[in-house]
């Protein structure tokens, strides 16, 4: 009898994982391109991360997405980490380069994708968690001359602002800023407990600019609706999600996950 060959495994680690759209996206990509691969959801508690990495070195796991709260934990466990991920202090993708287990961060590429070719004079970032780190790194790559960071917990804004060389702004003053790019990097507006909430109302959007919400479920958040009513352009978080996933897929397979089809797939999954 011929022994069965193991399949090629991919997956996402995080805890709790909640309802991730990554399995849908990547499994669709494998089937569209006729590739051998199965992407799974692996909820993993913090204390099990090191054992998981050891196991991944012997199992047919070819790629891993890493989400909250493990993006920092995995860093010292890898053979190589890209400069970008190291600067950020966060890895969201594991992939193999021959025998070396490598870490990359594709959130920055994802964040930048809808902004390519555009320029802004002043940005305001709302929130100081893991996503805000990717945003600040992206804004530095984009060369935005002035960036301010406001967060509910002031000390966290100060720390992160110092790390990235941007200006901290008291949370209470966030509506009085003349920025032309405002990014919501907080979970306000997300489906569930935070639905219908916004870090900024219409009065906070003065002049003209782009409101960019990292939240993608729902696609149409109150933050974007308030911005639109003030005459601002809007960008939802789906573009970032799709592009960070496409960058992962590229690292794992060397192939391009079709962008339009991916967006349609996820829009449908989100009920649009």
**At which residue do the structure tokens 């001359």 appear?**
145
The yes or no reply on residue 130 touching ligand NAP (CB under 6 A) is yes
The yes or no reply on residue 240 touching ligand NAP (CB under 6 A) is yes
The yes or no reply on residue 22 touching ligand NAP (CB under 6 A) is no
CB nearer ligand NAP, residue 156 or residue 267: 156
Near ligand NAP by CB under 6 A: residue from 110, 138, 168, 209 = 110
The yes or no reply on residue 215 touching ligand NAP (CB under 6 A) is yes
Alpha carbons 224 and 211: distance in angstroms, whole number: 6
3-class SS at 102? strand
CB nearer ligand NAP, residue 132 or residue 227: 132
**What is the torsional sign of CA 203, 193, 159, 85?**
negative
| Cβ 174 to ligand NAP shortest distance, Å | 10
The CA-atom distances, in angstroms, between 127 and each of 64, 71, 107, 131, 187 are: 26, 17, 16, 8, 8
The yes or no reply on residue 153 touching ligand NAP (CB under 6 A) is yes
Report the number of secondary-structure helices (H) and strands (E) in the chain: 9, 12
The yes or no reply on residue 131 touching ligand NAP (CB under 6 A) is yes
Near ligand NAP by CB under 6 A: residue from 144, 188, 200, 262 = 188
The yes or no reply on residue 107 touching ligand NAP (CB under 6 A) is yes
The yes or no reply on residue 12 touching ligand NAP (CB under 6 A) is no
Which listed range, 18-26, 39-47, 147-155, 225-233, lies at the site for ligand NAP (CB under 6 A)?
147-155
Exactly one of 62, 70, 71, 174 is catalytic; which is it?
A: 71
**At which residue do the structure tokens 């003053």 appear?**
173
Total residues in contact with ligand NAP, by rule CB under 6 A: 25
The CA-atom distances, in angstroms, between 55 and each of 6, 48, 104, 149 are: 15, 11, 20, 39
Element holding 10 (H helix, E strand): strand 9-14
Let me know: does 20 contact 262? Beta carbons within 8 Å: no
The yes or no reply on residue 180 touching ligand NAP (CB under 6 A) is no
Whether 48 is catalytic is no
Catalytic residues: 71
């Amino acid at each position: 009898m011929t022994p069965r060959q193991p399949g090629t495994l991919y997956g996402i680690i995080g805890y709790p994982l909640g309802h991730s759209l990554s399995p849908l996206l990547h499994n669709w990509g494998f089937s569209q391109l006729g590739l051998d691969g199965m992407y799974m959801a692996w909820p993993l508690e913090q204390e099990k991360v090191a054992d998981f990495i050891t196991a991944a070195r012997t199992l047919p796991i070819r790629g891993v997405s890493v989400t909250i709260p493990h993006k920092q934990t995995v860093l010292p466990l890898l053979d190589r980490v890209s400069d970008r991920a190291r600067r950020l202090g966060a890895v969201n993708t594991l992939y193999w380069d021959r025998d070396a287990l490598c870490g990359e961060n594709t959130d920055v590429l994802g964040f930048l994708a809808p902004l390519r070719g555009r320029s802004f004079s002043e940005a305001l970032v709302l929130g100081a968690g893991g996503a805000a780190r990717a945003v600040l790194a992206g804004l530095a790559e984009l060369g935005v001359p002035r960036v301010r960071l406001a967060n509910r917990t002031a000390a966290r804004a100060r720390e992160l602002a110092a790390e990235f060389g941007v200006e901290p702004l008291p949370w209470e003053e966030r509506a009085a800023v003349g920025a032309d790019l405002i990014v919501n990097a907080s979970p306000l507006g997300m489906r569930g407990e935070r639905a219908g909430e916004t870090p900024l109302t219409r009065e906070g959007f003065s002049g003209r600019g782009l409101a960019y919400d990292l939240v993608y479920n729902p696609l149409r958040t109150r933050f974007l609706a308030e911005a639109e009513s003030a005459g601002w352009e809007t960008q939802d978080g789906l573009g970032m999600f799709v592009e960070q996933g496409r960058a992962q897929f590229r690292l794992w397979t060397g192939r391009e996950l079709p962008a339009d089809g991916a967006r349609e797939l996820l829009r449908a999954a989100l009920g649009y």
